Amino acid sequence: MTRQQRLVLMIAILASFVAFLDGSVVNVALPAITRDLGGGLAVQQWVVDAYLITLGALILLAGSLSDAFGRIRILRIGLIGFGVTSLLCAFAPTAEVLIVARLLQGGSAALLVPSSLALIISCFSGVGQSKAIGTWTAWTGTAMIAGPLLGGVLVDTLSWRLIFGINVIPIVITVWLMSRIEPVPEREDRPKIDALGAVLGAVGLGGPVFALIEQERYGWGSPVTLVPLIVGVVSFAAFIWWEGHHKQPMLPLSLFRVRNFGFGNIATAFIYGALSLGFFAIAVFVQQTAGFSATAAGIATLPPTLVMLALSSWFGKLAGVHGPRLFMTFGPIVAGAGFLFMATAQSDVNYWTQLLPGILLVGIGLSATVAPLTSGILGSIDPAQAGIGSATNNAVSRVAGLVSIAFVGVITGGSLDVGGFGRVVTTTAVLMFVGGIVSFIGIRNPRAQTASVATSPTGP
């Protein structure tokens, strides 16, 4: 690996790490944020969803911007924007200012991940590229471990505001490293930017989410709820129509005609919607009802990540031999059983008997699901479309999480008490079960894999 490649890899890892870290650190801080700024469950939903709205709506557009204006330039804009908006979040005097800052922060984060991957792809090739992407994945994955623990410690010992302010440190380091690399080759054929698609997509997501979160305060019959809902639904329908007719769409709908890609993304929507909903509820419930500290809440949600680190590679190898269908079927069902187990939690919460067994089952189920799901989806399309395929699947998972969290108030009736928590994790389990059923019905194993299993007397 050359000096240039090492610098590129470090930059890509650091740039993506802050975006992944911010996504995993916030849940444990939500009770502290509402104790300080007020607003209850609705503000907690908005703090999470405001970030996901702009991230989910713009992540596909960000890939086009990276190709059109240069990876380094877009990455630098994203980093500076993320740093500035993180400080806005840290110093937000009111809940409303924090929510607006989170919207802007999500837009900046959307520029980071696609540009980081594009930078790796432009500077590595062959086996080296695969290893570099593997290293990038491993390091950015540690954000899922570091986030809840770091967030909990900062909330308990200092202030929730530091979970945002601390982002500035890796951003400054990354921008400095970017000043030390040589010019990176860019594409000669610059794609046109699908600006209208981006606007329609953002409005199509934002309108219904606003209605779902605010319906508890204003009611479904209020114009404050109905107008955003109708405008959002119409905009989303227009987005789908536009993407089907635009010459260079932000979201190529033709990809969904590939069976495993189409059904795999439907499964992704249910599975990742369930994950966002379930872990949002756990992080808030164990603090507000069970009385956990933010640090303890971070530790309580850590086992699934540790289980995935231990088992994902093994399940990935098995799926490489037997195909993804079996694992994408039973994995979500096992995870759903874990969430269903947590519905037995009582007001006198015993983490070890009422939550931990279910959380471990969730970890096992996810370990069996994630790698086969990713390989099954991306392995079904032309390698030349892997970039947009990955961005599409990422966008589907983000949007699914956004929508599921918007439904929290509807499911709970306004409070994550014992009854509300039971309803949420039961709903989460149902979503997981549906994800497994969709996989069983729709996913097909590649013929080469099926043949190899049939002719191998020893299996894996």
Kindly list the domain boundaries of the chain, sorted by start residue: 1-180, 195-249, 251-454
Q: Which uninterrupted H or E stretch holds 148?
A: helix 143-157
Identity of the amino acid at 85: T
User: String of b and e for 388-415 (b: at least 16 CB within 10 Å)?
Assistant: bbbbbbbbbbbbbbbbbbbbbbebbeee
Average pLDDT over residues 275-293: 89
Mean pLDDT value across the chain: 84
Average pLDDT over residues 258-264: 93
List for the chain the helix, strand, coil content (%; round to 5).
80, 0, 20
Measured CA distances, 325 to 249, 256, 331, 365, 378 (Å): 30, 18, 10, 14, 14
Topology adopted by domain 1-180: Growth Hormone; Chain: A; (1.20.1250)
Give the model confidence (pLDDT) of 195-210 as tens digits.
788 888 888 888 888 8
Tokens at residue 50, please? 């405001």
Share of residues in the chain with pLDDT > 70 (%): 88
Average pLDDT over residues 335-354: 91
What is the model's pLDDT at position 345?
Answer: 87
User: Is the confidence at residue 12, as pLDDT, over 90?
Assistant: no
What is the model's pLDDT at position 195?
Answer: 79
Q: Give the C-alpha separation, 141 to 396, whole Å.
A: 19
3-class SS of residue 458 = coil
What is the model's pLDDT at position 24?
Answer: 76
Q: Give the C-alpha separation, 84 to 27, whole Å.
A: 21
Q: Which uninterrupted H or E stretch holds 349?
A: none
Q: What is the DSSP letter of 180?
A: T
User: Is the confidence at residue 433, as pLDDT, over 70?
Assistant: yes
Q: Which range among 104-108, 401-405, 434-438 shows the weakest confidence by mean pLDDT? A: 401-405
Asked if 25 and 151 count as a contact pair (C-beta separation under 8 A), the reply is yes
What is the model's pLDDT at position 145?
Answer: 66
Does domain 251-454 fall into CATH 1.20.1250.20?
yes
Q: Give the C-alpha separation, 402 to 411, whole Å.
A: 15
3-class SS of residue 46 = helix
User: Is the confidence at residue 226, as pLDDT, over 70?
Assistant: yes
The backbone region for 219, taken as left when phi is positive above 0, alpha when psi lies in -120 to 50, beta otherwise, is left
- In which band, very low, low, confident or very high, does the pLDDT at 454 lie, cut at 50, 70 and 90? very low
User: Is the confidence at residue 231, as pLDDT, over 90?
Assistant: yes
Q: Give the C-alpha separation, 152 to 298, whole Å.
A: 6
Q: Give the C-alpha separation, 240 to 244, whole Å.
A: 6
User: Is the confidence at residue 184, as pLDDT, over 70?
Assistant: no
Average pLDDT over residues 415-422: 87
Tokens at residue 31, please? 């009770």
Average pLDDT over residues 437-458: 63
- The angle at the Cα of 430, spanning 426 to 431, to the nearest 5 degrees, equals 115
Average pLDDT over residues 214-240: 88
Cα separation of the two ends of the chain: 33
User: Is the confidence at residue 177, as pLDDT, over 80?
Assistant: yes
The reply to whether domains 1-180 and 251-454 share a CATH topology is yes
Average pLDDT over residues 43-57: 85
List, in sequence order, the alpha helices (H) in 182-324: 195-218, 223-245, 259-288, 294-300, 303-322
User: Is the confidence at residue 138, as pLDDT, over 70?
Assistant: no
Average pLDDT over residues 224-239: 92
What is the model's pLDDT at position 450?
Answer: 40
Give the model confidence (pLDDT) of 57-114 as tens digits.
787 777 677 767 777 888 899 999 999 999 999 999 999 999 999 999 998 988 887 7
Closest CA to 327 of 311, 305, 310, 307: 311
- In which band, very low, low, confident or very high, does the pLDDT at 460 lie, cut at 50, 70 and 90? very low
3-class SS of residue 410 = helix
Tokens at residue 458, please? 């020893």
